[in-house]
Amino acid sequence: MSTFFQKDKLKHGLPASAYTDVDFFRTECDTLFTNNWVFVGFAHELPETGDTYPITVAGTPVVLIKNNQGQIAAFHNACSHRCLKLVDEPKNVGPMLTCPYHSWTYSLDGDLCATPFFGGKEHHPEGFNMSDHGLKSIKIAIWHDWIFINLSGNAPSFEDYAAPLIKNFDDINFQQVRPVATLDFGEISTNWKFLMENYIEPYHVQFVHRTTTNQPLEDHYTIIDGVCVGSAIDLDDEDKVKESLSVSSRYLTLFPNFIIGRYAPDQIGVYLNVPVNPERTQQKRVIYTTEGQTVSNEEVEAMKKLWWDVHKEDHAICERLQLGRASPVSKDGGLLSPHWENSVRAFQEMIAKAVTD
Ligand SMILES: [Fe+2]
């Protein structure tokens, strides 16, 4: 993998192949999406006992299940019998999860409970231990509404891993944080890293978001703190315009794929980016209020319209970044601003380290 990277680290970004190559994508799945805490979903989307939610992480089918204690657990989404994908759409399965193929049945804690006629007339052949064949569980961490999993099971505790991000939210009363709207963008024709990098740097904001924001570039600064990189802007109160993005903001990420924005005085936005293949990524954004305030339908619609427009402006750019990767000019990775894109460089260095280690 080291051949993917330029020696001249001062100038070049990741080479084009890091955004287009199927083998590189597979390596990302096997390394950084397997070994780290990966953001996979929103706890509020599983409100009831028996709710299940299938996801794909690093190409691996996973199912989230809410159990009788109100906890969400993650399992490999495959029946222990013939390895059929157990859950293929979000749904409530009631008290038990049953495979549609031969009715093998699991509790909401993943324990195998029934294997009808597996031994012929007997349900349990001799020497077959039900307790050995439950669903295979996956390490999970839930930070407020945000669900992370670690496929390898070897990551440090989530609190230790995410400490550089979490400390930015010391002053938030999470009891008051409420999801008020979801924007589902479906699939975007770009590599997942372009969506991350575009979010991480503030350089493009004044050019791409001319109509949606009024944040002067010079008031921004970048943030590089271990696995948390991004940027921020602090504005004086009199400069703030609530209906646009002209407010004090912190744009933060947690490597590899968690994105969270804080918008003063009372809003958080979180986006989920799910890599589908080297050139396609699914994206969803959930908008939260942070002060427990009531928001009218009109206010919610205004927030959705604003954020829809902002994301569409970014998607258009990210899709053209992808198209530019077909040019021989992009082979060496283009250039990064040493000032405004040093946070992008930090993200790319984490990518490079993860796939070469
Ligand atoms: Fe943007």
Count Cα atoms within 13 angstroms, Cβ side, for 340: 15
pLDDT of residue 1: 42
Calculate how far, in angstroms, residue 335's C-alpha sits from the geometric centre of ligand 1: 18
Cα–Cα distance measured from residue 257 to residue 347, given in angstroms and rounded to the nearest whole number: 10
Q: In three state form, how does the secondary structure of 241-270 look?
A: ECCCCECCEEEEEECCCEEEEEECCCEEEE
Are 38-158 and 165-356 in the same CATH fold?
Answer: no
Reported as type and span, the H/E element at residue 228 is strand 228-233
Calculate how far, in angstroms, residue 204's C-alpha sits from the geometric centre of ligand 1: 6
Calculate how far, in angstroms, residue 112's C-alpha sits from the geometric centre of ligand 1: 47
- The domain spans of the chain are 38-158, 165-356
Cα–Cα distance measured from residue 344 to residue 337, given in angstroms and rounded to the nearest whole number: 9
Calculate how far, in angstroms, residue 193's C-alpha sits from the geometric centre of ligand 1: 14
Calculate how far, in angstroms, residue 40's C-alpha sits from the geometric centre of ligand 1: 22
Calculate how far, in angstroms, residue 296's C-alpha sits from the geometric centre of ligand 1: 27
Cα–Cα distance measured from residue 320 to residue 325, given in angstroms and rounded to the nearest whole number: 9
CA 216 vs CA 210, 219, 250, 260, 342: distances in Å = 10, 6, 14, 21, 18
pLDDT digit string (tens) for the chain, length 357 residues: 444 455 555 468 999 999 999 999 999 999 999 999 999 999 999 999 999 999 999 899 999 999 999 999 999 999 999 999 999 999 999 999 999 999 999 999 999 999 999 999 999 889 999 999 999 999 999 999 999 999 999 999 999 999 999 999 999 999 999 999 999 999 999 999 999 999 999 999 989 998 887 777 888 999 999 999 999 998 876 555 555 566 788 999 999 999 999 998 899 999 999 999 999 999 999 999 999 998 999 999 999 999 999 999 999 999 999 999 999 999 989 999 999 999 999 999 999 999 998
Say if CB 5 and CB 350 are below 8 A apart: no
Calculate how far, in angstroms, residue 198's C-alpha sits from the geometric centre of ligand 1: 6
Count Cα atoms within 13 angstroms, Cβ side, for 100: 6
Calculate how far, in angstroms, residue 202's C-alpha sits from the geometric centre of ligand 1: 8
- Of 66, 57, 75, 16, the residue nearest 322 (C-alpha): 16
Calculate how far, in angstroms, residue 305's C-alpha sits from the geometric centre of ligand 1: 15
Cα–Cα distance measured from residue 345 to residue 186, given in angstroms and rounded to the nearest whole number: 28
Torsion angles phi and psi, residue 163, rounded to 5: -50, -40
pLDDT of residue 235: 81
Say if CB 90 and CB 63 are below 8 A apart: no
pLDDT of residue 239: 54
The single residue listed with the structure tokens 């805490």 is 37
CATH architecture for residues 38-158: 3-layer Sandwich (2.102)
Cα–Cα distance measured from residue 65 to residue 18, given in angstroms and rounded to the nearest whole number: 34
pLDDT of residue 237: 61
Say if CB 165 and CB 53 are below 8 A apart: no
Taking every pair of Cα atoms in the chain, the longest distance, rounded to a whole number of angstroms, is: 78
CATH superfamily of 165-356: Naphthalene 1,2-dioxygenase Alpha Subunit; Chain A, domain 1 (3.90.380.10)
**Alpha helix stretches (DSSP H) within 201-252:** 205-208
Q: In three state form, how does the secondary structure of 120-170 look?
A: CCCCCCCCCCHHHCCCCEEEEEEECCEEEEECCCCCCCHHHHCHHHHHHHC
Which amino acid makes up residue 199? Y
CA 226 vs CA 162, 172, 354: distances in Å = 9, 22, 14
Which pairing describes strands 258-263 and 267-277: parallel, antiparallel, or unpaired? antiparallel
Calculate how far, in angstroms, residue 77's C-alpha sits from the geometric centre of ligand 1: 35
Local structure of 332: helix, strand or coil: helix
Local structure of 298: helix, strand or coil: helix
Calculate how far, in angstroms, residue 217's C-alpha sits from the geometric centre of ligand 1: 12
Calculate how far, in angstroms, residue 235's C-alpha sits from the geometric centre of ligand 1: 18
